[in-house]
Amino acid sequence: MQKDPLDILKQFWGHDTFRGSQENIISAVLDEKDVLALLPTGGGKSLCFQLPTLLKNGMCIVVSPLIALIHNQVEGLKRKDIKAIALTGGITQEEVINLLDNCLYGNYKFLYLSPERLKQEMVLKKIAEMNVNLIAIDEAHCISQWGHDFRPAYLECDKLRAILPETPVIALTATATVQVSKDIIDSLKFIDPLIVKDSFARNNIAFQIIRAEDKRYRLKRLCAVTTKSVIVYARTRRLTVEVAQFLRANNFKADFFHGGLDRGQKKKKLDNWLENKVQIMVATNAFGMGIDKADVSLVIHYQIPDCLENYFQEAGRAGRDGEPANAILLTNKSDEALVSSQFLSVLPDTPFLKMVYNKLNNYFQISYGELVNKPFQFSLYAFCDTYKLNTLITYNALRILDQNSVISLSESFSKKSEAKFICSKDVLFEYLEKNIDTANIIQTLIRTYGGLFDFETKINTHLLSKKTNRPEVFIIKVLEQLQKDGLIEYKAQDNDLELNFLVPREDDITINAFIKNVEELHKTKSEKLDSMLAYVLNETACRNRMLLSYFGEEKKEDCGKCDICTAGEKVESSSEINQRIIVLLKESNKTSRTLIETLGLKSATVIESIQYLLEDGLIKINSKNEYELISVN
């Protein structure tokens, strides 16, 4: 006799009731219907495929885009004593076979894998032999080229439907427009699916745009009045380091996180944040997906994201505990003027794409009509130097060729060497005087890359070779010697990549086959950026309603919390509010929430006054996260 879903919910998750449309989705899955589940960030998507799997014989195949997300869910299942396996990168073929055999004979309930694994015939063959009761496609917007995070390998997901035609499929995402939803349904060949869309509204989050010329000062003030966890999103790895260092210098418990860290570093940083040893995490968008930390009360975007999908998903990591939270985007006129060129100027147009493909064939001396079935070692920097090409635009052109199966690139493509001086400048100058033969190399290194004394910096040894007119092998030897002498930390990476040609050379004919899709994709990116900028520059419409409208959800009432909704309110003078707070704190210590409720003012207004009082040394935060007056002797 099949157990009741509520019994399983209570047994493994400790809840007595379902949230939103979870029960409806689970019932459809148990009835073996295909399902497209559009649930908000923090809406409990994983439970929608994990729970019904436990109620049925067999196992669930879960396709997920990020290793961190996979490990997070697998570890969560293991803590519930549910058998789950993660088929991720960095394991040998023999280990892969052993893990898949465990799925066949070890009574496992879940097999998590990245979409790239579906390109391996051996993996598909093993899955076809398994008793699979459900296929779950997590972060399903990645399957759509019109989505914000298109991942070509997700197109392999339809192979699961081909080898398991009777098995129902559930696709889940928190950020799908109407067009993306349709693409998901078509790509996965859904049959009469149940389409469920819960409201994306996050009524406890106040969405705000704050314009500030000195963004670091504003960031410091925002963090000063926040006692719970904070995420600050920055666009580049280097900026995450710089901002985290700035916050630490101002006595905040802050750290940085980005995709360039190794697995051990990521785990340590994440654990410190989850355990509240670190309050503020400054991160690229590599951080957050699949990480369920309920007490994030503030998410700050230090730069403008490239689309509303990314912004909304990242902002939605605030307030998962249901408590009031803030999602703030810091910007200024300089940011707004640069954002279009930063995102769109690096997209290769049709003539550039054709030119790169032509030169790539010439570079390897491949003749028209020829297909060479062997891998080539390829240095992006040497290639760009030979033809005087912009490295970033060329990189994006090669990615497009890879996405459209013209070529295949190795995953180590974008890796670069890193260096950081760990000695003082005085020690370095003394070293230069004693090692005159390497002085030019070291001086060129310092002139080319700022911040080498402050943080690990990506360096291009090919570029240094060109600037100093010395062989690249000599540059590397100098860096290695500096490391041996204790002057720098140096991490060498092989900048070469392995490239395979997948189709015969036909020049323009090859590119013409998919160029219309590429142009449409570029147009979509441009439109998404326009929507993002319209949101930032908006001065009249409720931000919450504007975000929901973008995702096809209409809301009649304004939120009453965002900067637009509160802009027209009559507010007392700052000095009056400051005095009222002091009077209240004379009565007793109070949290910011109590002050906001007692004063009857908007949170942003009260927080502004609290900031001033903290900076003037009139109040402080005690061990109970309450504000109290500082006694003056």
Same domain membership, residue 330 and residue 293: yes
Is the pLDDT reported for residue 614 higher than 70?
yes
Q: Is residue 361 part of a domain?
A: yes
Same domain membership, residue 186 and residue 86: yes
Given this model, what pLDDT does residue 538 score? 94
Continuous H helices in 31-157: 47-54, 67-79, 93-105, 121-129
User: Of 145-159, 498-512, 583-597, which has the strongest mean pLDDT?
Assistant: 498-512
Same domain membership, residue 510 and residue 435: no
Same domain membership, residue 277 and residue 393: no
Assign 483 to helix, strand or coil.
helix
Is the pLDDT reported for residue 299 higher than 90?
yes
CATH of the domain at 594: 1.10.10.10
CATH of the domain at 148: 3.40.50.300
What is the average per-residue pLDDT within 367-378?
88
For CA atoms 45, 51, 56, 60, the dihedral sign is: positive
Q: Mean pLDDT in the chain?
A: 87
Q: Is residue 538 part of a domain?
A: no
> Which tens digits make up the pLDDT trace of 201-217?
888 999 999 988 889 98
Q: Is residue 541 part of a domain?
A: no
Given this model, what pLDDT does residue 495 score? 55
Assign 614 to helix, strand or coil.
helix
Given this model, what pLDDT does residue 119 score? 83
CATH of the domain at 391: 1.10.10
Is the pLDDT reported for residue 22 higher than 90?
yes
Domain end, chosen from 197, 227, 243, is at 197
Given this model, what pLDDT does residue 2 score? 63
Q: Which of 118-127, 246-255, 327-336, 442-451 has the lowest mean pLDDT?
A: 442-451
Task: Report the amino acid identity of residue 146.
Answer: W
Distance CA 30, CA 32 (A): 5
Exposure string of 91-113, with b = 16+ CB inside 10 Å and e = fewer, is: eeeeebeebbeebeeeebbbbbb
Q: Is residue 560 part of a domain?
A: no
Given this model, what pLDDT does residue 148 score? 65
Q: Is residue 27 part of a domain?
A: yes
Same domain membership, residue 128 and residue 140: yes
DSSP states of 197-220: E-----TTEEEEEEE-SSHHHHHH
Same domain membership, residue 168 and residue 38: yes
What is the average per-residue pLDDT within 106-113?
92
Given this model, what pLDDT does residue 289 score? 63
What is the average per-residue pLDDT within 453-480?
84
Given this model, what pLDDT does residue 70 score? 83
Given this model, what pLDDT does residue 337 score? 86
Between 302 and 218, name the one with better pLDDT.
302
Same domain membership, residue 193 and residue 214: no
Predicted confidence band of residue 632 (pLDDT cuts 50, 70, 90): low
- Give the total residue count for the chain: 633
Exposure string of 549-574, with b = 16+ CB inside 10 Å and e = fewer, is: ebbeeebeeebebbbbbbeeeeeeee
Domain end, chosen from 301, 319, 340, is at 340
∠ Cα 556 560 562 (to 5°) = 110
Same domain membership, residue 334 and residue 350: no
| Domain containing residue 38 | 5-197
Between 356 and 261, name the one with better pLDDT.
356
What is the percent of the chain with per-residue pLDDT over 90, rounded to a whole number?
A: 40
Instruction: Evaluate whether 561 touches 601 at the Cβ level (below 8 Å).
Output: no
> Which tens digits make up the pLDDT trace of 234-245?
998 889 999 999
Domain end, chosen from 493, 509, 542, is at 493
Same domain membership, residue 131 and residue 241: no
Same domain membership, residue 363 and residue 507: yes
Region of 407 please: left (phi>0), alpha (psi -120 to 50) or beta: beta
Q: Which of 43-47, 94-98, 262-266, 316-320 has the lowest mean pLDDT?
A: 262-266
Same domain membership, residue 468 and residue 520: no
Q: Return the closest-CA partner of residue 318 out of 561, 124, 77.
A: 561
| Long-range own/partner contacts, residues 374-378 (CB < 8 A, 24 or more apart) | 374/500, 375/498, 375/499, 375/500, 376/498, 376/499, 376/500, 376/501, 377/496, 377/497, 377/498, 377/499, 378/496, 378/497, 378/498, 378/499
> Which tens digits make up the pLDDT trace of 345-362?
888 999 999 999 999 999
Is the pLDDT reported for residue 604 higher than 80?
no
Q: Is residue 316 part of a domain?
A: yes
Is the pLDDT reported for residue 464 higher than 60?
yes
> Which tens digits make up the pLDDT trace of 479-520?
989 999 899 988 876 556 778 898 999 999 999 998 988 888
Between 341 and 142, name the one with better pLDDT.
142
Q: How many domains does the chain have?
A: 5
Distance CA 462, CA 495 (A): 9
Same domain membership, residue 383 and residue 329: no
Predicted confidence band of residue 572 (pLDDT cuts 50, 70, 90): low
Structure tokens at 148: 């914000």
What is the average per-residue pLDDT within 186-190?
91
Given this model, what pLDDT does residue 1 score? 47
Given this model, what pLDDT does residue 430 score? 87
Distance CA 587, CA 629 (A): 10
Is the pLDDT reported for residue 198 higher than 80?
yes
Given this model, what pLDDT does residue 254 score? 96
Q: Which of 206-210, 303-307, 351-355, 603-607 has the lowest mean pLDDT?
A: 603-607
Instruction: Evaluate whether 138 touches 45 at the Cβ level (below 8 Å).
Output: yes
> Which tens digits make up the pLDDT trace of 416-455?
678 889 988 888 888 888 888 888 889 888 888 877 887 7
Given this model, what pLDDT does residue 147 score? 67
Between 71 and 204, name the one with better pLDDT.
204
Is the pLDDT reported for residue 568 higher than 90?
no
Q: Is residue 306 part of a domain?
A: yes
